[in-house]
Chains A and B, each alone.
Chain A
Amino acid sequence: MKEIMFENVCKTYHKTNVIENINLTIQPGERLILLGASGCGKSTTLRLIGGLEDITSGNLYMNGQRMNDVASGERNVSMVFQNYALFPHMTVAENIIYGLKVQKLPQEQIKERLQSALSMLELNGLEERKPKDLSGGQRQRVALARAIVKRSDVLLLDEPLSNLDAQLRVHARKELVKIHQAYHQTFVYVTHDQVEAMTVGDRIALMDKGKLQMVDTPHNVYHRPANVFTAKFIGSPTTNIFEVQYAERSIRFGQQKIALPDHWNHHIAKKEGVDFYLGIRPEHIQLEREKVENSFFGTVKYIEDYGNRCGVYFTIGDKEAVAIHNQVDLKSGQPVWFKLNFNKMHLFDKQTTMNIGYPEV
């Protein structure tokens, strides 16, 4: 098993930086998710591991060995492409064993691995079909089978589920985790879907504009976002960000203010008069129809009904915010008062947008 290490890795295309100074260690056998919007450099990062792109500067190590100039085929890495990249002129079986044939493995071993991959991915009976005669889900499984028969140390997955419909995707997600548990390869998995990232990943590396924003467990990425970008990217509806000022043991927002509890006051005691970004997830806002102590005041704008609960969009001053509310008992135009769950609140430095940390409770 191999540890993959990025050391100050940069990638430049025609003088634009696609990847900027990435430092990242991927542990052997872990499932690391590269998450980000399209164009953030996550696929390029994956392709750097596979040797499909050259590194402009910096070093890439696998198991302590510098890999910058090692050919793709010698990295012991396999990959599932977004479009599956199945060879259209070969049958399912030929596609799966192509790499083993290139490696000149003995015939019996090829047969045995083919059989185990076919049964693992429920492809029995389709061996002689051509890719064009398969459904999307079957193609995806053939691509996976081709990647796992190699028994490589690292499996790279480039948005492997993005061409499947929603129901199949949930099933395939579970299958991927099952495959990981069977083979214990290091998974590096690119996706723009945060649900996929949260459910499949041991750790998530969130990227934006070629830079790593945060690398941590799904739980921490959700509950302890490192910066404003992370807080806003993960979760739906998105985290509310308010520009606030800390003064006299309270948070001031426009004309309104609410008093902070002691542990927060203690935590930011020296920041009197400093501006912050306050982040709070919609589900951590408590809406009241009557005026309550220590709350902000707003007006309901519109309501999204999710069935079991609803998203209430409201204006506070000139800013729009959203809260998750359990009952559909509000109407647009109605005034609301909302309280923050201080244990779930995040404060970010206004200059750096970095999280300033949490008080000990």
Chain B
Amino acid sequence: MKNKQEYQWHILLCLALFFSLLPIVFAISNSFKDLSEAYNNIFNLIPQYPTLNNYIQVFSQLPFVSIVTNTFLIAATVTIFKIITGIMAAYSFVYFDFKGKNVLYFILISTIFIPFTVTMIPNYLTVSQLGFRNHILGVILPQLSDATGIFLIRQAMRTIPYSLIEAARLEGAKHLKILWDIVLPLVKPAVVSTGIMFFINSWNEYVWPVLVLKDKVNYTLPLALQLFISSEGGTDFTVAMAVSVVTMIIPLVLYLIFQRYIIQTFTSSGVKG
């Protein structure tokens, strides 16, 4: 009986895997074909005449190294700051008692529901006034803290039994030490998966960078991808596939490194309901 059930699950999982892998395999295989082969044999998984031309074109037509560096710098800085501010704020909300704590938290959390389009123009004006237009600092600046991160990390901290904190206090540990020795190791899975989420979001971000950044040398990967999709004379789609593949690699590697934390977070939150 159990075997049969497992069987059914596996079929379902295989189907899901197939559909989620399809576009990735499609992108990878077509990035190694030249345009004519791609148009003739688009579903051929193994290229008949494999070529690196698309990749060479990407690297020669664009300041590609600086684009990758920009994307990485923005995503890494944004992630690190969001995590640090998130940890600090979450710790205060969980372990400090102060007047107006709940009201403040409510206000903070309600900012999650403000759509990006509402803050887009004010942020743009602020960044322009500061002289950060066409600079990656302009992309980074409005994203240094994030209510979602505070919320997720706070939820994780709330699952730590309070007596652990009290035990550490009795041992003479101060707040920073408690945070470092006790709280952080216990919320590590949540922090890592929140960080991955921030990193991937920032890595894929399009609208805000396209507003701020003007010169190609300052571009991020999603903007570079766009260049090949809508360039005049039709879509050079095998080159676009090559950019896609490069864009995927870093988040994929990060995900593979940290996947056990991500899974831990989701499974543990599942158990606790």
Contact = CB atoms under 8 A, between A and B. Distances in A.
B169 A52 contact: yes
Contacts of B172: 72-74, 99, 102-103
Interface string B158-179: 0001011011111111100100
Interface residues of B, number: 17
A81 interface: yes
Given A73-B174, A83-B161, A83-B163, A89 B185 contact: yes
Contacts of A150: 171
Contacts of A82: 163
Nearest to B162: A85
B33 to A, nearest CB: 50
A103 B164 CA distance: 18
Contact of A79 (B167, B173, B177, B181): B167
A102 B181 CA distance: 10
Contacts of B169: 51-52, 71-73
A71 B170 CA distance: 8
Given A52-B166, A89-B185, A73 B173 contact: yes
Given A85-B161, A85-B163, A85-B164, A79 B170 contact: yes
B182 interface: yes
Contacts of A85: 161, 163-164, 166-167
Contact of B182 (A51, A77, A87): A87
A72 B171 CA distance: 8
Contacts, number: 58
A51 B171 CA distance: 12
A77 B164 contact: no
Nearest to A74: B172
Given A73-B173, A99-B171, A81 B163 contact: yes
A98 interface: yes
Contacts of A52: 166, 169-170
6 nearest interchain CB pairs? A73-B172, A99-B171, A85-B163, A85-B167, A89-B185, A72-B169
B169 to A, nearest CB: 5
B186 interface: yes
Nearest to A79: B170
A50 interface: yes
B171 A98 contact: yes
Interface residues of A, number: 23
Given A89-B185, A89-B186, A146-B167, 20 more contacts: A50-B166, A50-B170, A52-B166, A72-B166, A72-B169, A72-B170, A78-B170, A79-B166, A79-B167, A81-B166, A85-B161, A85-B163, A85-B166, A87-B164, A87-B167, A87-B168, A98-B168, A98-B171, A102-B172, A150-B171
A18 B182 CA distance: 30
A88 interface: yes
Nearest to B164: A85
Interface string B165-209: 011111111100100011001100000000000000000000000
Contacts of B186: 88-89
Contacts of A88: 186
Nearest to A103: B172
Interface in A164-192: none
Contacts of A87: 164, 167-168, 181-182
A105 to B, nearest CB: 11
B171 A73 contact: yes
Contacts of B181: 87, 98
Contacts of A81: 163, 166-167
A45 to B, nearest CB: 15
Contacts of B185: 89
A280 B164 CA distance: 45
10 contacts: A72-B166, A73-B169, A73-B173, A74-B172, A78-B170, A79-B166, A85-B167, A87-B181, A98-B171, A146-B167
Contacts of B168: 87, 98
Contacts of A50: 166, 170
A71 B185 CA distance: 24
B218 to A, nearest CB: 42
Nearest to B174: A73
A83 B181 CA distance: 20
Nearest to A98: B171
B247 to A, nearest CB: 36
A102 B177 contact: yes
Nearest to A80: B167
B173 A102 contact: yes
Nearest to A77: B170
Contacts of A83: 161, 163
A150 B170 CA distance: 10
Contacts of A79: 166-167, 170
A124 B170 CA distance: 25
A50 B168 CA distance: 12
A83 B160 CA distance: 13
Nearest to B188: A89
Nearest to A99: B171
Interface in A278-331: none
Contacts of B163: 81-83, 85
A146 B168 CA distance: 11
Nearest to A97: B171
Nearest to A89: B185
A285 to B, nearest CB: 45
B99 to A, nearest CB: 15
Interface string A215-233: 0000000000000000000
B267 to A, nearest CB: 16
A355 to B, nearest CB: 38
A72 B177 CA distance: 14
Interface string A88-113: 11000000001100110000000000
